[in-house]
Structure 1
Amino acid sequence: MKILHIDSATTGAASVSREVSAAATAHFKELYPDAEVVYRDLGVEPLAHLTPTTTGAIRLPADAQDDNMKAAFPTERAVLDEFLSSDIVVIGAPMYNFTIPSQLKSWLDRLGVPGVTFSYSEAGPQGLAGGRKVVIVSSQGGEYEQGGVMEHQEQYLKDFFGFIGIDDPIFVRANKTGFGPDIRAASIAAAKEQIAAL
């Protein structure tokens, strides 16, 4: 059993998603005491945005890669392999300017690999990365309906993971955290109660 814990907030100790994602990881570690926990902090150590070299390293077969792509391949592929080797993935995903943080997008860009996590056929796309539980800790200063006006965070994550074969990501929400300390605390408490029931 392997638990992958991803954080992406850049607000340090003030981050709601970090607090709740830590609670979610602790919950699963309690359920599975022998589980290995791997932690990746994209807020502190972000992955670079894709370049022609890293895109080629991720997507092209070895015989089509230039020397720079081949040199980049092990590091780039390690991000994907870390995900694929996990049974449970806990993702701290705050809303930044109505969508996800760019550093989280850079991580997702390493997961969308044709022939590995999805494929195309005449019948359309097929996800190949199912078989793991994905728990997304969503925090928002306001409250936005999934798929509604100005909400490009949770819907995007649902669509992305569905595309690669994970049709049932679990969303743990801490909303309205900007509405004052009492509402923030109540929202965090409610999110932790939701985690306890997983």
Structure 2
Amino acid sequence: MKILHIDSSILGENSVSRQLSQAIVQQLTAKNSNAQVDYLDLAQQPIPHLTAEILMGQDAEQAALGEKIIQQYIDADVVVVGAAMYNFGLTSTLKAWIDRISVAGKTFKYTEQGPVGLAGEKKAYIASSRGGVYGDNSPADFQEDFLKTIFNFTGVNDVEIIRAEGVSMSEFKDQAVANAMQKIQAI
């Protein structure tokens, strides 16, 4: 089993999404002794944002990086994304990763019947953390729904969200993290 583990929070060891994503990976590797983990820390090693030169293939170094990122995604059996909500959305570094994996002919294709994902059968876990409390189907959610859309668009339809909300509110944080950890133990 190949696991692609991605963290994007800028908070380092104080990050709840990192804590959750790490726990998911630990749970998966405990159940799969031969699991291989490929780790991307987008806060420590950000992927350059998409530019015209990158998109048009005019930057050989970035083209090679893009191919590597796409191959990591395609090769993974499981993708674990630590995604903290920032201003109702994702970190810009996670968006930069999404821009690199969303490539026509590589992870999806257009057909007469509409787009078809090419990334293969895999499982995706979103370790979501939110400072406030939004709940399911919030009109202010441009984080989890966006990630699910990207995964589905590229052919990954088995997406599980493990969420801790209210982590910036002392009265909710401990219980939110405990609830998320309990869900992780059930993986």
* Same fold at TM > 0.5: yes
Which residue does 1:185 correspond to in 2? 174
Match status 1:28 vs 2:28:
yes
Which residue does 2:77 correspond to in 1? 87
Q: Decide which of 94, 98, 104 is 1:108's aligned counterpart.
A: 98
Structure-2-length-normalised TM-score:
0.95
Q: For residues 25-46 of structure 1, what are the alpha-carbon distances to aligned partners after superposition, in whole Å with 9 as ceiling and x for unaligned? A: 1000101111111111001111
2:9·2:15 contact (CA, 8 Å) conserved in 1?
A: yes
Q: Decide which of 111, 114, 128 is 1:124's aligned counterpart.
A: 114
- Structure 2, gaps ≥5 residues long: none
- Structure 1, gaps ≥5 residues long: 58-67
Q: Give the drift of 1:114.
A: 0.4
Q: Decide which of 106, 109, 123 is 1:133's aligned counterpart.
A: 123
Q: Say which one has the larger Rg.
A: 1
1:146·1:154 contact (CA, 8 Å) conserved in 2?
A: no
For the aligned residue pairs, the C-alpha RMSD in angstroms reads 1.3
Percent of paired sites with the same residue? 39
Mapped partners of 1:32, 1:186: distance in 2: 29
Aligned length: 187
Q: Decide which of 135, 140, 145 is 1:150's aligned counterpart.
A: 140
Mapped partners of 1:23, 1:49: distance in 2: 29
Mapped partners of 1:78, 1:36: distance in 2: 16
Structure-1-length-normalised TM-score:
0.90
Q: 1:71 to 1:48 in 2, by over 3 A?
A: closer
Which residue does 1:162 correspond to in 2? 152
Mapped partners of 2:120, 2:130: distance in 1: 27
Q: Give the drift of 1:50.
A: 0.5
Which residue does 2:185 correspond to in 1? 196
Q: Secondary structure at the match of 2:169?
A: coil
